Amino acid sequence: MAPALCAICKVSRALIIRPKNHQKLCKACFIAVFEAEIHHTITSTSLFSPGDRIAIGASGGKDSTVLASVLKTLNERYNYGLDLVLLSIDEGIKGYRDDSLETVKRNAVQYDMPLKIVGYAELYGWTMDQVVETIGKKGNCTYCGVFRRQALDRGAKMLGIKHVVTGHNADDVAETILMNLLRGDLPRLARSTSIVTGDETSEVRRSKPLKYAYEKEIVLYAHHKKLDYFSTECIYSPEAFRGSARSLIKNLERVRPSAILDVVRSGEDMARLVPEEVTGVSHCKSQKTSLSSADGEDQGAGGCGTNGRNSGGEMAEMEKKLQQDEEAAGREIDISALSNNANGQRHDRIETKPEPRKAAKKDVGRKLVRQTLGTCRRCGYMSSQEICKACMLLEGLNKNRPNMQIEVDGEEESSSLRKGMGEMALAAG
């Protein structure tokens, strides 16, 4: 067939067909459009301010490599005035992370950015190899995910940086939205749609500038720009990721490519219906900013399938939800129906309903304070609980027994590091 011409320049041969709108583009126009859209995401959400120091969470994989490349390009092209630094986490997995860290080291040279590597060994006294030696492969992703989320914050603090960007893409966000929808977890669904978690008062904010970028286009951008990235699978990837939401997303995309962004938009619309008391997302100033969840669960920031929600957090959330039930009574939106549906998904929540309602009525102020982000009493890093999850897990490890309170339960979260594992696990079976 005759080669199609680029829909923009009408001169060059089209090489790319865009999933979001079927537009056929040549290589040069695709690269220009891809960069322009990330620029638009950044400027329309006022993501950065001149002089900001930004740590790019870099794994050496396609997403973070593209993020680093695009941010460097845009920073120079549009004079963002950003000071960009690569921040990598060394989980201490021989034959996996040591290889991909070599890629990050090359990226640091290619993009002329400083590179900081923080290791689990120095932060926690345990490498993942040692953790697995102690607890076995089952459940090790919980440890890795909890440790990594905190490690990114701690790495940023070591650098004196207050903003970490991660390579989460539209596919990741859509996957998280679907998963939270399937769990009936509207608060987390709402938070996961935010482009930023944390605000000026947070120690470390997190954001995902590639939130609207298709994974397909990220890979094609990396290909056509000949970026140096590393693809691998964690050697400890467990079987727990069978039938991942990832496969669902990819199948949806095959039937109707716009489905991915449609899920993201739907998630954002649903988030707008969830009161801010529940999500911490302020609708007034911008529905795109949400208060940080110190555990980072909303973002699944690089955590390999961790779903370490515990009963304490659920109770707190429950209280918040019940409180908003009352406060929402006078609102225009029929929130109570929404909440009831959400609660209906979980029988335990229905059981506990009467008690927290009373508590919330009695002492509204205290309950609100309890929701405020605090610091871990033990390590001093951000935590919504008295003792952060990392410290709880470490305590178990140091006693040479795994902490059974936080268990992998087969549910997954979105993560660019983890996404391939589902596929691997599927195949292995």
Partner 1 sequence: MASETIPITVEFTGGLEMLFADQRKHSLSVPAKDERGQAVTVGWLVHYLCVEVMKDPRKEMFVLDGHVRPGILVLINDADWELEGEASYALQARDNILFVSTLHGG
Q: Residues in the site for partner 1, rule: CB under 8 A? A: 1, 3-4, 13-17, 24, 27, 59-65, 100, 103, 167, 171, 215-216, 218-220, 223-224, 229-234, 246-247, 250-251, 253-254, 415-421, 423-424, 426-428
Name the minimum Å distance from CB 100 to partner 1: 6
Cβ nearer to partner 1, comparing 65 with 180: 65
CA–CA dist 235, 132 (Å, integer)? 11
CA–CA dist 276, 206 (Å, integer)? 19
Cβ nearer to partner 1, comparing 246 with 367: 246
Length of the chain in terms of residues written? 429
Q: Are 247 and 239 in contact (CB under 8 A)?
A: no
Name the minimum Å distance from CB 320 to partner 1: 33
Strands 83-90 and 115-119: parallel
Query: Phi then psi for 286, rounded to 5 degrees?
Result: -175, 125
Q: Hey, what amino acid is at 220?
A: L
Cβ nearer to partner 1, comparing 96 with 124: 96
Name the minimum Å distance from CB 231 to partner 1: 4
Name the minimum Å distance from CB 410 to partner 1: 19
Cβ nearer to partner 1, comparing 62 with 191: 62
Cβ nearer to partner 1, comparing 15 with 278: 15
Cβ nearer to partner 1, comparing 385 with 415: 415
Which helix (H) or strand (E) element contains residue 34? helix 27-44
Name the minimum Å distance from CB 412 to partner 1: 13
* Per-residue exposure over 209-219, b if at least 16 CB sit within 10 Å of its own CB, e if not: bbbbbbbbbbb
Residue located via tokens 């006078």: 330
Other beta carbons within 10 Å of 347 = 9
Name the minimum Å distance from CB 19 to partner 1: 10
